[in-house]
Amino acid sequence: MAGRLEGQHVFVTGGARGIGAAIVEKALAEGASVSFMDLEEEEGRALLARLGADRLGFAPGDVRAAADIAKAHAEATAKFGVVTGLVNNAGRNSYADPVAMTEAQWDEVFSVDLKSAWLVARAVLPGMIAARKGAIVNIASLHADLTYPGMFPYAAAKSGLVGLTRSLALEVGPHQVRVNALSPGYTETRLVKEFFERNDSALRRAVIDAHPMRRMAEPREIANCAVFLLSDEASFVTGAN
């Protein structure tokens, strides 16, 4: 099924690798123009070279910084016009001790995993509202519902992202802009590799056993779901996780 995002401009944060890169690739395959921003300039440029499409743009930048977002958004819209699909995918894990954690560490987790979704939405929403067309997908996590010891306060930030999704969906729904969250189970990416490197192999088995399919997801399986939510096939789906 090709061409489900024909005529759309999709902006993906944290698109250089992992789930974000799979979303970039799938959105391109479905006919969208795609812009992505990422902290990792080298990985971003490598993906750009690998996919090599005219419909693809990359801006290095930090989603914690409103100025970086504004710059990436300006470059993207100059190239491909108004952003009609946003995927807030950039995220990080956290392994903090709730007593030893500093306020700066707390703020760092929440600025990447929660605040950035609002900052990027704030940049793209005027264009979507004027166009009366838009879909935002926030990549939350299984941890918004079920979590694990040793990952404080990741679940709080991702639960917050699901709450932001519901709240924003109500604000922008009348403008025909949809906002949904997507909460992947464990997915084979660098983030998860780092998680398992910190733990023993029994945990890997336990995590796999907690998934109904008795395996982890591939990034492209999450991308398929993101593309559905961005597409007109999901035209009445909003505020969902």
Q: Looking at the annotation, which residues are catalytic?
A: 154
Burial class (CB in 10 A: 0-12, 13-18, 19+), 135: buried
CA distance 202 to 52: 41
CA distance 22 to 28: 10
| Member of 24, 86, 139, 169 binding ligand NAD (CB under 6 A) | 139
Helices (H), 90-218: 103-110, 116-131, 154-172, 190-197, 201-209
| Member of 8, 35, 89, 94 binding ligand NAD (CB under 6 A) | 89
Asked if the peptide bond before residue 153 counts as cis, ω within 30 degrees of 0, the response is: yes
**What stretch of H or E contains 8?**
none
Q: Site residues for ligand NAD, window 185-204 (CB under 6 A)? A: 186-187, 189-192
Least distance from ligand NAD to the Cβ atom of residue 84, Å: 21
With CA atoms as reference, report the closest residue to 86 among 226, 238, 240.
226
Listed ranges 56-64, 76-84, 101-109, 165-173: which one lies at the site for ligand NAD (CB under 6 A): 56-64
Least distance from ligand NAD to the Cβ atom of residue 91, Å: 2
Q: Site residues for ligand NAD, window 153-192 (CB under 6 A)? A: 184, 186-187, 189-192
**Measured from the CB atom, is 80 or 195 closer to ligand NAD?**
195
| Member of 112, 156, 162, 177 binding ligand NAD (CB under 6 A) | 112
Count of chain residues binding ligand NAD (CB under 6 A): 28
CB 73 within 8 A of CB 83: yes
Least distance from ligand NAD to the Cβ atom of residue 170, Å: 23
Decide: helix, strand or coil at residue 180: strand
39 binds ligand NAD (CB under 6 A): yes
Listed ranges 70-78, 134-142, 206-214, 225-233: which one lies at the site for ligand NAD (CB under 6 A): 134-142
CB 68 within 8 A of CB 37: yes
- Residues at the interface with ligand NAD (CB under 6 A): 13-14, 16-20, 38-40, 62-64, 89-92, 112, 139, 141-142, 184, 186-187, 189-192
